[in-house]
Structure 1
Amino acid sequence: MSLRKVKIAGTGSYIPQRVLTNADLEKMVATSDEWISSRTGIKERRIADENEAASDLAYHAARRALRDAHVKPEDLDMIIVATITPDMIFPATACILQERLGARKVAAFDLEAACSGFLYGLTVGNQFIATGMYDTILVVASETLSKIVDWQDRNTCVLFADGAGAAVIGPSSDSSRIISTYLGADGGGADLVKVPAGGSRLPTSLQTVQNRQHYMKMKGNELFKTAVRAMIRAIYASLEEGNLKSSDVDYFIPHQANMRIIDAVVKKVGLSQDKVHINLEQCGNMSAASVAVGLDEAVRGGKIKKGDKVLLTCFGGGVTWASIVIEW
């Protein structure tokens, strides 16, 4: 069976209006702008309002992606939402988004691969379209990490932020296409970053709430080393799958977790800094939404041109990692 080429037909993103600066955090926890900036590269981050949920951010990003792709909600075949901060345990945030968009009679489900979620979602959607099962799929990454961050823990609260990014994918009739995808995971690193309580292993109780076990816990130093190794491995694997070299990459959009991670990966792979998309300073770590928002920014900012080879790479809890090469 011959597979169809698949392209990204449109992108969109949305970040909340509220800005939380490092100076603001100095008033909340024992930290400083110098401490945060030197260790992470982050100056500020966007925070959702109290009444804003993942589906709200997803809706705005999705609408923009649909407009960019010239696709009506009713023309969609499937909606995939990547998130670790769903509106609720169930139903899926994708179903809530489906109803709000007015996308009747489409398949809809959530996908959870932490910060790698958007690229996992693109890869899943790519397979449905390549095999001819579906024609038009909306992939959204939406996170409200401010809802699961412990604002008393300076090691995590300075890092994470809220936002959403989306892409509409469909069959390609020209050179634009997803060239290669690579996914990976290692459950041996499950304890490196997690929310311990609220699932079937440790159900919600008065004790779990009092012990602050519904907030994110992270082993930063171990995660840093694992992230660098995994992202480098993913990049080389996706380039090899596409018969490409790092010198063929025109633009690189890495997961925006930490500037030191990005610098280490870029140096090892041998990419030019002027080809690397960075929004970490203003947006912080938006988990699954990170690469999705970065892609939309790069497209709308004219940094990606027709025919460019674009590399998307991420790493997340689980641990998971992913890399995709696209010809724009």
Structure 2
Amino acid sequence: MITTGTARSGRPSSGTAILGTGSCLPSHVVNNTEVGAGAGVTDSWIRGKTGIRNRRRAKPDEATSDLAVVAGRAALEAAGVRASELALVIVATSTPDYPQPPTACVVADGLGATAGTAAFDVNAVCSGFLFALNTAEQMLKGADSRYALVIGADIYSRILNPEDRRTAVLFGDGAGAVVIGPARQGRGLVAGRLASFAADRDLIEVAGGGSRFPATAETLAAGLQYFTMNGRGVRDFVNTNVVPAISAFVTDAGHRVEDLAHFVPHQANGRMLDDMSAALGVPDGRTRVSYEEFGNTGAASVPVTLDLAARSGELADGDLVLLAAFGGGMAMGLSLLTWQGPQHGRAH
């Protein structure tokens, strides 16, 4: 159970809803044979360990903001909302365009948001989108505009050691976005929970490039610019902390896991998701996945998976949906919502 470092919120079901979704997945496909060659593993090894078959890679001249703009524009179009109507643009990423300015400012400008729109980044690694979504929902209560654009976007291919089989085979590049705004009665975000487990922060890290170890010839030679992960430690963290926290969260919100029409988890690893869904008791066929074709897209994985489900027609008006993510920090974000399907005219 979570006892400290937790923010909880219960919300009336007629507050804020997801009005539209969007995603951007680069066109370049990297299969297991290609990525496995550098890491010294085979296609069958990767599929057996992770369930991943392919992942996408950004072009050399593409940055995180480029993917985020495309995803954000698609979400705005789906919602029937103009960029000039946004109170907030929040980009969740741990692979920003630059140390500064915020990638969200690049995105807001690219989308044509007004000068009054607040734009900022959130870094909670793979949990970032859920941290941003819960933050945006709370901030809209005091905003002049009723709308916010929340984007998860990462280009992990830039920070992976291609020889490290623990990480190189897992990650893909991508961006996913949602527009949130006024909910119809009985629809929208029901509850959210954020938590950090800071004592476990060394399970996932990029040690170099910050103020602790600024980029130098020595840090580059030591490989400190690369993403590293203790895979066994992360699995233990999920089993010990995330699974029971999800169960408690759903119960506290007045529901049962069996009530879920859709479980949209962070796409960390297919085998891990199978184990998590089974441990939670998620009914067969209700866990939404994208990892087989797109791998782990970091902060983008939940909104990308949600967008794919929405655009395929899997999400029906009134469905109970659980979004769940975990990642470096260690951190965990959860959101429970009653899906709001589109109506004629504006999607909301």
CA displacement at 1:60 relative to structure 2: 0.4
Q: Does 1:233 align with 2:244?
A: yes
Residue from 191, 195, 198 that aligns with 1:184: 195
Q: Does 1:256 align with 2:272?
A: no
Q: Does 1:282 align with 2:293?
A: yes
Matching residue of 1:80? 90
Q: Which moved more, 1:83-92 or 1:170-179?
A: 170-179
Residue from 300, 303, 306 that aligns with 1:292: 303
CA distance in 2, matches of 1:51, 1:228: 39
- Structure 2 gaps of 5+ residues are 1-10, 340-348
| 8 Å Cα contact 1:150-1:156 kept in structure 2 | yes
Residue from 160, 164, 167 that aligns with 1:149: 160
CA displacement at 1:130 relative to structure 2: 3.7
Equivalent residue letter for 1:285: N
Q: Does 1:127 align with 2:131?
A: no
- Deviations along 1:254-303, one digit per CA (max 9) or x if unpaired, are 11111221111111111122011111111100111000100000111111
| 8 Å Cα contact 1:231-1:322 kept in structure 2 | no
Matching residue of 1:63? 73
CA distance in 1, matches of 2:289, 2:112: 34
Q: Does 1:169 align with 2:219?
A: no
Shift in alpha-carbon separation, 1:131–1:238, aligned structure 2, 3 A: farther
Matching residue of 1:246? 257
| 8 Å Cα contact 2:187-2:338 kept in structure 1 | yes
- Deviations along 1:172-223, one digit per CA (max 9) or x if unpaired, are 1322210010111111111101000001111111100111110101111111
Large movers: runs of 4+ above 3 Å? 130-134
SS in 2 for 1:264: helix
Matching residue of 2:6? none
Matching residue of 2:327? 316
CA displacement at 1:117 relative to structure 2: 0.6
- Deviations along 1:44-89, one digit per CA (max 9) or x if unpaired, are 1001111110000000000000000001111111100000000010
CA distance in 1, matches of 2:166, 2:286: 30
Equivalent residue letter for 2:212: R
Matching residue of 2:44? 34
CA displacement at 1:238 relative to structure 2: 2.6
CA displacement at 1:229 relative to structure 2: 2.9
CA displacement at 1:231 relative to structure 2: 2.5
Q: Which moved more, 1:10-19 or 1:173-182?
A: 173-182
Matching residue of 1:111? 122
RMSD over aligned Cα atoms: 1.4
Shift in alpha-carbon separation, 1:45–1:249, aligned structure 2, 3 A: same
Equivalent residue letter for 1:45: R
Q: TM-score, normalised by structure 2?
A: 0.91
CA distance in 2, matches of 1:217, 1:69: 37
CA distance in 2, matches of 1:239, 1:288: 22
Shift in alpha-carbon separation, 1:139–1:47, aligned structure 2, 3 A: same
Number of paired residues? 327
Matching residue of 1:50? 60
CA displacement at 1:135 relative to structure 2: 1.2
| 8 Å Cα contact 1:180-1:326 kept in structure 2 | yes
CA distance in 2, matches of 1:262, 1:229: 14
CA displacement at 1:134 relative to structure 2: 4.4
Q: Does 1:98 align with 2:115?
A: no
| 8 Å Cα contact 2:87-2:144 kept in structure 1 | no
SS in 2 for 1:28: helix
Matching residue of 1:160? 171
CA distance in 2, matches of 1:77, 1:51: 30
CA distance in 2, matches of 1:108, 1:160: 27
SS in 2 for 1:35: helix
CA distance in 2, matches of 1:230, 1:56: 35
SS in 2 for 1:191: helix
CA displacement at 1:132 relative to structure 2: 5.5
Equivalent residue letter for 1:36: I
SS in 1 for 2:166: helix
Equivalent residue letter for 2:49: R
CA distance in 1, matches of 2:120, 2:152: 12
CA displacement at 1:131 relative to structure 2: 4.8
CA distance in 2, matches of 1:167, 1:149: 27
CA distance in 1, matches of 2:290, 2:173: 13
SS in 1 for 2:305: helix
Q: Does 1:139 align with 2:150?
A: yes
